[in-house]
Amino acid sequence: MKTVYVLNGPNLNALGNREPGIYGGRTLSGIESDCRTTAAELGFEVDFRQTNHEGLLVDWLHEASERDVIGVVLNAGAYTHTSIALHDAIRTIQPIPVIEVHLSNVHAREAFRQQSLISPVAAGVIFGLGPLGYVLGLRALAARP
Please say if 102 is a catalytic residue. Answer: yes
Tell me if 75 contacts ligand DHK by CB under 6 A: yes
Q: What is the DSSP string of 25-58?
A: S--HHHHHHHHHHHHHHHTEEEEEEE-S-HHHHH
The burial of 8, by beta-carbon neighbours within 10 Å (0-12 exposed, 13-18 middle, 19 or more buried), is given as: buried
Stretch that binds ligand DHK, among 31-39, 42-50, 71-79, 83-91 (CB under 6 A): 71-79
Q: Which candidate, 59, 50, 58, places its Cα nearest to that of 12? A: 50
Q: How far apart are CA 36 and CA 10, in angstroms?
A: 21
8 Å CB contact between 79 and 52:
no
Tell me if 11 contacts ligand DHK by CB under 6 A: yes
Stretch that binds ligand DHK, among 36-44, 58-66, 70-78, 83-91 (CB under 6 A): 70-78
Q: Which candidate in 5, 79, 87, 102 is catalytic?
A: 102
User: Among residues 74, 106, 118, 141, which is the contact residue for ligand DHK, using CB under 6 A?
Assistant: 106
User: Among residues 14, 42, 56, 78, which is the contact residue for ligand DHK, using CB under 6 A?
Assistant: 78
User: Among residues 71, 77, 97, 137, which is the contact residue for ligand DHK, using CB under 6 A?
Assistant: 77
Tell me if 140 contacts ligand DHK by CB under 6 A: no
8 Å CB contact between 31 and 15:
yes
How many residues of this chain bind ligand DHK (CB under 6 A)? 10
Catalytic residues: 23, 102
